[in-house]
């Protein structure tokens, strides 16, 4: 029994005194928002760190997703995954777009590219895949399908900060990628997000849209929204960026310990081979199989009784929620893999300050079954 509560995540906060000089700069400039100097610096530093051509900062990841869809004038139907956080599909509904759910791949838990073509109709305009848990989608195959059918690709890359494959950042793929800097994500600005885009012209359109569509004092070119990141959030991002390599290294140690110690536990499957690409260790998902002595929910409750708060990401499926379940594509029979996985999934606590002793306690509870 641990004496403290262990949650699935805990936000990383650098030493407070390191943040004070940034606040002093803001106080003396009196520039609080609307693309101030901290905002400009964070966009530059993130482009360098993430190795992407252009980035437009947002006040959160959901407004970034909404705006990405507006930027590309997406309408009609969009193919997406039911196995994600609700914001993925909500961003479609909020834009008056019909989500069409396609099942996931049992290995990667991402949209299964082999099932996309069957879901394309004359109304389909785009695909919105998710790099679930920061594991890259089958980027090449998705692009090939998109090219064949003249569809746009917008990645919900909320989990994928800093993830690379052998060709570099996975955030460079598709037409746009939207990312989240929410407190629960690997890189946080309290609340925040961004759109990664390929060229300055697209970024200009996104910048207009995130500022009410305003171009100058007398010119409004689109019905935009207020998606701007404030200077305090941007300043905090600059400070976080100084710590991010340490943060990911500490996460990777937790990941490695879980992996080693859970390897022999029968009935527990690990999803992902970490050596395949540069991971950010955002999540530590396990599958509780039918030969494990407890059901997934029994294990979840057992951990909870020891003050360990694992989470069932992603259960229930988005497609099972009341605003989606009436769609033809939302039927469980159309989504057998996602339906099964959502019943077996459990995300274990992982964050930079989680001690190896605590990881061992968690593994011990799981191993005893």
Ligand X SMILES: *Cc1c(COP(=O)(O)O)cnc(C)c1O
Residues near ligand X (CB under 6 A) are 60-62, 84-85, 87-88, 130, 156, 158-159, 180, 182, 193
Residue 44: its H or E element: helix 37-50
Q: Give the shortest CB-340-to-ligand X separation in angstroms.
A: 20
* Cβ-contact 189, 236 below 8 angstroms: yes
Distant-in-sequence, close-in-space partners of 183: CB < 8 Å, separation ≥ 6: 11, 190, 191
Cβ of residue 272: shortest distance to ligand X, in angstroms? Answer: 16
Q: In sequence order, which residues have a C-beta less than 8 Å from that of residue 46 and are 6 or more positions away?
A: 52, 55, 57, 194, 237, 241
Closest residue by beta carbon to ligand X = 61
- The C-alpha atoms of residue 178 and residue 194 are separated, in whole angstroms, by 6
End-to-end, the C-alpha distance of the chain in Å comes to 15
Judged by CB, which is closer to ligand X: 173, or 182?
182
Nearer to ligand X, 65 or 100 (CB): 65
Please state, as a whole number, how many other Cβ atoms lie within 10 Å of the Cβ of residue 275.
7
State the minimum distance, in angstroms, from the CB of residue 158 to ligand X: 3
Write down the least CB distance from residue 282 to ligand X, Å.
9
As measured in angstroms, the least distance from the Cβ of 144 to ligand X is: 24
Angstrom distance (rounded) from CA 56 to CA 65: 12
Q: Which is nearer to ligand X, 33 or 184 (CB)?
A: 184
157 vs 248, beta carbon nearer ligand X? 157
Identity of the residue, 185 or 296, whose beta carbon is nearer to ligand X in the bound complex: 185
């Amino acid at each position: 029994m641990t004496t403290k509560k262990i949650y699935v995540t805990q936000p990383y906060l650098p030493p407070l005194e390191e943040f004070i000089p940034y606040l002093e700069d803001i106080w003396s400039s009196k520039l609080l928002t609307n693309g101030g100097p901290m905002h400009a610096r964070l966009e530059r530093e993130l482009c360098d760190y993430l190795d992407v051509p252009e980035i437009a900062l947002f006040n959160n990841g959901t407004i970034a997703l909404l705006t990405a869809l507006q930027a590309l004038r997406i309408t009609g139907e969009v193919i997406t995954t039911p196995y994600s956080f609700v914001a993925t599909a909500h961003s479609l509904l909020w834009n008056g777009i019909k989500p069409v759910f396609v099942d996931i791949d049992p290995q990667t838990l991402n949209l299964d590219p082999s099932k996309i073509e069957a879901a394309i109709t004359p109304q389909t305009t785009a695909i919105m895949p998710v790099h679930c848990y920061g594991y890259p989608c089958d980027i090449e195959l998705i692009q090939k399908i998109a090219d064949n059918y003249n569809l746009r690709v917008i990645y919900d890359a909320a989990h994928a900060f800093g993830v690379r494959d052998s060709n570099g950042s996975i955030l460079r793929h598709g037409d746009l990628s939207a990312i989240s800097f929410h407190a629960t994500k690997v890189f946080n600005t309290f609340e925040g997000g961004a759109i990664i885009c390929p060229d300055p012209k697209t970024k200009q359109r996104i910048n207009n849209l995130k500022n009410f569509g305003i171009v100058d004092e007398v010119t409004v070119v689109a019905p935009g929204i207020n998606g701007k990141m404030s200077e305090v959030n941007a300043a905090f991002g600059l400070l976080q960026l100084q710590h991010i390599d340490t943060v990911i290294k500490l996460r990777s140690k937790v990941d490695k310990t879980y992996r080693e110690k859970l390897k022999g536990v029968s009935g527990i499957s690990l999803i992902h081979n970490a050596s395949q690409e540069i991971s950010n260790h955002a999540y530590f998902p396990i599958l509780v199989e039918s030969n494990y002595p407890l059901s997934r929910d029994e294990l979840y409750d057992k951990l909870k009784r020891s003050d360990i708060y694992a989470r069932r990401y992603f259960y229930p499926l988005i497609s099972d929620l009341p605003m989606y379940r009436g769609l033809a594509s939302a039927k469980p029979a159309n989504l057998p893999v996602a339906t099964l996985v959502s019943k077996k999934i459990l995300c274990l606590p992982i964050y930079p300050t989680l001690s190896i002793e605590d990881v061992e306690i968690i593994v011990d509870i799981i191993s005893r079954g």
